[in-house]
Amino acid sequence: MTLLDRRVILVLGKGGVGRSTMAAAIASACARRGRRTLLYQANANDRFGDYFGRPACSHEPGELGPNLWGLNTSPAAALREYGLMILKFQKVYDMIFENRITKAFLRAIPGLDDYAILGKAWYHTTEEKRGRPVWDTVVFDMPASGHSMTMLRIPWVILETVPEGPLTRDARTLQALLRDPARTAAIIVTIAEEMPVTEARELTARLEPLGIHPQRVLVNQMATDHFPAGSPAARVLGALKGSHVDGVLGAVTTHGAMAKARRALNEHYFAEIAATVPAPAFPIPYLSRQALSPADIQQLSGLVERALTTPAS
């Protein structure tokens, strides 16, 4: 059993590191292995439709490819579904949730929107049709690090503060799911630069007290090593840097030196991640594109699949 066989895959990381891209690649890898996969996000400026050459994802699951569907929910849609799940009947839901007083009360409850979104992700792991799970895997493209931690803590807060009832029952079930490494995989996405590496390390430390232990770190956008030590390319670059060149050759030399320095920086911070984050780190190369195409997502999914199926050493 690999990480791609989990019921839930949480994809976490700060904004701007390619978290959504990695979530799409992970979901694509799951689907390619024959698992009915739901790529789940909330309140997102959807890119998943473009990634798979399909319309933008909406509040209802939309097909993105073989064995793969996407969903972009909102707190209102998630809360409605949760309410219907508890109350069972549309008319009862409308009587309770759709009146002005209840709506005002619900808006005043801190964290309810986040709990509805997290709870909807959990609901999809339990969803059945004709006695069989509707989804084999839910890949949750979570919000940026700080927001995702607030969201993940909510079941613990409910259990500490709310009297026993349906809410605490569901919070306890959700908490057990999140803490179970046989059912849930937490994947951290970062890039090999100082601030993202620091945040990845801090995120890991904040997850540990919840009993959520990240299983992999995907280090995205690693610069290509065009000048490996001892290679002819490296020797030529070294000779050119030591001479006075201008024009086109000078520009090429400058660009080569910058690429070499960028790779050295990435290697430094990749080593720091490997040494300080207690989860195996895997490099994901930088793709120089204006916009990623479905073919790019397929390429990345192959790399991600190897990262998530290679046994941890």
Q: Which amino acid belongs to residue 229? A: A
Whole-number pLDDT of residue 92: 43
30/135 Cα distance (integer angstroms):
11
Whole-number pLDDT of residue 195: 95
Whole-number pLDDT of residue 312: 73
Whole-number pLDDT of residue 226: 79
pTM: 0.88
Contact 175, 156 (CB under 8 A): yes
CATH number for the domain including 184? 3.40.50.300
Please provide the distance, in angstroms rounded to a whole number, between the alpha carbons at the two ends of the chain: 16
Whole-number pLDDT of residue 25: 98
The two three-digit tokens of residue 191, written as one number? 């890039």
Contact 124, 40 (CB under 8 A): yes
Whole-number pLDDT of residue 236: 75
Number of domains forming the structure of the chain: 1
Mean pLDDT by 10 residues, the chain (313 residues): 96 95 98 97 89 93 97 81 55 50 48 84 91 96 91 90 81 94 97 95 95 97 84 75 70 78 93 94 92 94 96 73
* Residue-range definition of the domain harbouring residue 90: 3-309
Whole-number pLDDT of residue 97: 52
83/77 Cα distance (integer angstroms):
10
For 155-205, write each residue's pLDDT tens digit: 998 888 878 877 788 889 999 999 999 999 999 999 999 999 999 999 999
Whole-number pLDDT of residue 272: 96
